[in-house]
Chain A
């Protein structure tokens, strides 16, 4: 073992890495708990990669075989039910953890200089995670996913000039068909993972390079008291706590998968009428509900177009958040108010949608 280490040290900067890890610290204060959310999201992502690869061994991406292959995985493949259920639950928990992580970064103002690129890569990773969710939802080719994808892709048709072309690009034709499934599969297992790898490496390297951000209020308090902000060693203090959180997440995943196995539903039938209660995954529910509440026309403009434009502007504001923060008390207060309002809006819309769409 020692010989192997010596052999590797002669070829790789192991000593520098060891030294960096040994000296790396993580700030310790009343908000430190939120630091674990990023690691938790990463844990769920790793689970996704592992279970996704296992599912790939049996999944067949065509409209004729997709549903049956997932059914085969769940009934015939040893522990296939567990792998598929963990993949589905972990996807949802990953997106949940990513949302909480993002809002914690906003409220703790961790996006400030010099972490603009970290923020940017993180927001893009969240969008990619939503893309994973949207494309993955269709892959079992069941009735609910089929019609939800039809509604979801149809939203793009409201975009002026390029709307119809965008819908055709997303669907691989005019309608949701086997071509859409193949396309979504390709995006889900090749395009998005490739982009994710690049963004994730950037994000993690920057987090290590720049360290954890300390909230301005904690910094100010420490300065007032004339002391440094407390810190804990990354190894073993933070790493063991991270491991504790991941183990709890693993137990949660196992429990959910065993007691609430993810349903498969009925096979998609393009000629059937849309089933009652058609709705997307929970993280798109607020958008779905907001669109339902939109009047058909606002100031002479198509209501759906206005909603899509508002969503686009919201996404753009999120991406540009570090540049909108003018480093003044007023602008930061404004950002906290806007983030709280957005969070409340999303929570209320999701709640209404879960209660039956306010009808």
Chain B
């Protein structure tokens, strides 16, 4: 009882002390110090003073913040110095600052526009991690989120006449699905097409080169086609005309055709040779799809009946691969190369269907065989039954 009066003030003091300690832990300087412990620069032996210079005089050892316009040049002091950077990694690149100066961000920053991105916006100021570290904001799966911090902010983008829908559009794309759902880190994200440090929207005449980084065959076919010259003459943005730029979908056979919603119908009708080519390609896709569907159904029925149809499955896989090849060959915008590949695909689909038909015929043969065997067995059982009944009675 004598000590009870000490409990309440004791608790209050403890809470206040804890709050003080926690509040101190939340200060920007402490946050920066904590984050810097994991920083790749800390492990390389750099300190606060390496970037901030000497502490502010009379400020108790704290450092002055770096102006946004001075951040990139400050980073470049080391990162553009090949001799210095080689001491950490022999093959490290040193052109980031040069690239940055060519970017929209770098050019705006050079004009004194501080709202655009600089090094620390993407890499963090403290706690910078290597790109290969999955926690890094510039690791492939995190790039879109990092860019979206600014590019999905309509208020921030409107002064620059940039749409804030771009990150959302990309997240619906076939590329986002590959990267984020399937974990394919080779799938393109923002910096794959726009560049990292030299981030700039590709121009109309360079879009095909950007896509060609991965879609090599499509680009080769396109460049060799008549369409390439026509698009150049018209000032059309090549790949983007049909595929769009950020919300790129899985290609569909229905895009080919002369009636809405086919993409070709935007510019073509059946009065020209190109219209006839489009119709021929459309028919080719329809033929192959019908054959693939029929073969797949036959094989599925066979499998459900317990038949092994490995050969049919292999042939159907070949037909599916031929279908993908045909979609690539569409970029030739010509009938002849398409027809040749179509024949291969149709032959594979026919082979798969034949395998399915053989399996089902074999199944029927087995069932007929079973019916005959059952009749023979039943006949034998009936004979046995009669014979047993005719035996002398058991004593």
Contact = CB atoms under 8 A, between A and B. Distances in A.
Nearest to A70: B308
A258 B369 contact: yes
Nearest to B373: A254
B374 A255 contact: yes
Given A243-B384, A264-B308, A250 B377 contact: yes
A247 B395 contact: no
Q: Which of A28, A231, A258, A259 has the most CB of B within 10 A?
A: A258
B387 A240 contact: yes
Interface in B360-392: 366-367, 369-370, 373-374, 377-378, 380-381, 384-385, 387-388, 391
Contact of A231 (B306, B384, B394): B394
A2 interface: no
Given A240-B391, A244-B381, A254 B374 contact: yes
Nearest to B309: A75
B392 to A, nearest CB: 8
B391 A247 contact: no
B173 to A, nearest CB: 30
Nearest to A228: B395
Contact of A244 (B306, B310, B374, B388): B388
A313 interface: no
A248 interface: yes
Interface string A263-282: 11000000000000000000
Interface in A229-253: 230-232, 236-237, 240-241, 243-244, 247-248, 250-251
Interface residues of B, number: 22
A83 B395 CA distance: 43
A71 interface: yes
B276 to A, nearest CB: 45
Contact of A75 (B308, B380, B385, B387): B308
A247 B394 contact: no
A19 to B, nearest CB: 19
B387 A248 contact: no
Contact of A258 (B311, B370, B380): B370
A74 interface: yes
B374 A251 contact: yes
A154 B145 CA distance: 47
B388 A240 contact: yes
A260 interface: yes
A247 B384 CA distance: 10
Contact of B310 (A71, A254, A260, A261): A71
A339 to B, nearest CB: 30
Contacts of B380: 247
A231 B395 contact: yes
Given A244-B384, A254-B374, A236 B391 contact: yes
A42 B307 CA distance: 30
A261 B306 CA distance: 6
A240 B384 CA distance: 7
Contacts of B308: 71, 74-75, 81, 264
Contacts of A255: 370, 374
A258 B371 CA distance: 10
Interface string B271-313: 0000000000000000000000000000000000011101100
A104 B51 CA distance: 89
A261 B363 CA distance: 11
Contacts of A237: 388, 391, 394
B367 A258 contact: yes
Contacts of B387: 236, 240
Nearest to A82: B366
Given A71-B308, A263-B306, A244 B385 contact: yes
Contacts of B385: 244
A236 B391 CA distance: 8
A236 B388 CA distance: 8
B306 to A, nearest CB: 4
A251 B28 CA distance: 83
Contact of A247 (B306, B311, B370, B381): B381
B377 A251 contact: yes
A250 B370 CA distance: 11
Contact of B306 (A251, A254, A260): A260
A259 B371 CA distance: 11
A42 B267 CA distance: 79
A197 to B, nearest CB: 29
Contacts of B366: 81-82, 258
Given A244-B381, A251-B373, A258-B370, 4 more contacts: A236-B387, A255-B374, A260-B306, A261-B307
Interface of B: 306-308, 310-311, 366-367, 369-370, 373-374, 377-378, 380-381, 384-385, 387-388, 391, 394-395
Top 5 A-B pairs, shortest CB-CB distance: A261-B306, A258-B370, A232-B394, A251-B377, A244-B384
29 contacts: A71-B310, A74-B308, A75-B311, A81-B308, A230-B395, A231-B394, A231-B395, A232-B394, A236-B387, A236-B391, A237-B391, A237-B394, A240-B388, A243-B384, A244-B381, A247-B380, A247-B384, A248-B381, A250-B377, A251-B374, A251-B377, A254-B370, A254-B373, A254-B374, A255-B374, A258-B366, A258-B367, A259-B306, A259-B367
